[in-house]
Amino acid sequence: MLEQYDLHNLLVIDIETVPQYSTHDQVPEHLQKLWELKTQNQRKDDTAENFYKSAGIWAEFGKIVCISAGIFTGGKDTGLRIKSFAGHDEKELLTKFSALLFSQPANLVLCAHNGKEFDFPYICRRLLINGLPFPPQLQIAGKKPWEIAHLDTMELWKFGDYKNYTSLNLLTAIFDIPTPKDDIDGSMVGHVYWNEGQLDRICTYCQKDVIATAQLLRRYRGEELIKDEFITIIG
C-alpha cells in the first residue's frame, strides 16, 4: 500500500489550535452572537459561554498556535526530521510555515491524520483571514480530487467506509506503534495555552503526533518503524 509515493517528497504535518480569546466574555459582542448561532446544533443543552472552550475547533473562532512538520530523510536507514512553527502571533507563524512550503517543490505531498477534514482546510482558512498567499501545495480550488496531492492517514484507513472516525491513538495501538504517554490531549490544548501559558508543552505534543503519523505511514507501507535515534527535532 502507498508504494507509489516517494517518502522523501512527503511532508507530515499536525496543527494545534486554541480559541482566539481566553474567555467567552472577551469575545466581541457581535461575534458572541455569531458563535451562539454557529454552535447551536453542537452545544445541545450546553450554554454558548461554557461551550466556548471548544472554539479552537472552528477556524472562524480559533487560531493556530503550532504547526509541526516532519520530512523523511536518509536512504537505507530512514529518518525523520521535524521542525515546529509555534507562537502567539498566528500571522508570523503562518508566514514562516508558508515560506517552508514555497521553498519546496510544488508537487510536495502533504500528509496528516484527519488532515482533509481539519488540518488542511483550517490552515487555508486562517491564511485567508490573515491576508496571506497560498503556497502551491495548498492551492486546491478548481482541481479534481485526484489532482490534489494530500494524504490523510485516517481516510486511508476507511477504505471507502465513511461511518466513523478512527483516532490516531487507536491506530497506533493496533499497529503496535510505541507512543509516549502524554500529560495532555487535544481537549486540553486551549486550557494549557490560555490558563497555563505553556506553549512549549503544546509544541511537544504536536511533534509527537507528527512522529505517530509518520510511523503509521510506514506501517501502511509494510515497512519497519523509524528508530528513535533517526528522529531529529530541529530548534
- Per residue in 119-153, pLDDT (tens digit) is 999 999 999 999 999 999 999 888 888 888 899 99
Domain assignment present for residue 47? The answer is no
Backbone angles phi, psi at 81, to 5 degrees: -115, 125
Domain assignment present for residue 37? The answer is no
pLDDT at 143: 86
Total count of domains within the chain:
1
> In this structure, are residues 67 and 84 in contact, taking their beta carbons and an 8 Å threshold?
yes
pLDDT at 181: 67
Give all strands of the β-sheet with 231-234 in edge-to-edge order.
150-152, 109-112, 10-19, 62-73, 79-86, 231-234
> In this structure, are residues 109 and 152 in contact, taking their beta carbons and an 8 Å threshold?
no
> In this structure, are residues 187 and 17 in contact, taking their beta carbons and an 8 Å threshold?
no
- The DSSP H or E segment spanning 172 is helix 168-174
Domain assignment present for residue 25? The answer is no
Using one digit for the tens of pLDDT, what is the confidence trace for 51-80? Answer: 999 999 999 999 999 999 999 998 778 999
Q: Which residues on neighbouring strands pair with residue 109, listed in sequence order?
A: 10
Using one digit for the tens of pLDDT, what is the confidence trace for 84-103? Answer: 999 999 999 999 999 999 99
- The SS3 call for residue 182 is coil
Domain assignment present for residue 105? The answer is yes
Domain assignment present for residue 209? The answer is yes
| CATH of residue 160 | 3.30.420.10
Is a pLDDT exceeding 90 seen at residue 184? no
pLDDT at 144: 87
Domain assignment present for residue 65? The answer is yes
Q: Which three cell numbers stand for residue 84?
A: 515546529
Domain assignment present for residue 48? The answer is no
Q: What is the pTM of this model?
A: 0.94
Domain assignment present for residue 204? The answer is yes
Per the structure, the complete domain to which residue 88 belongs is given by 7-20+61-234
**pLDDT bucket at 187, cuts 50 / 70 / 90:** confident
Distance, in Å, from the CA atom of 76 to the CA atom of 118, rounded to the nearest integer, reads 33
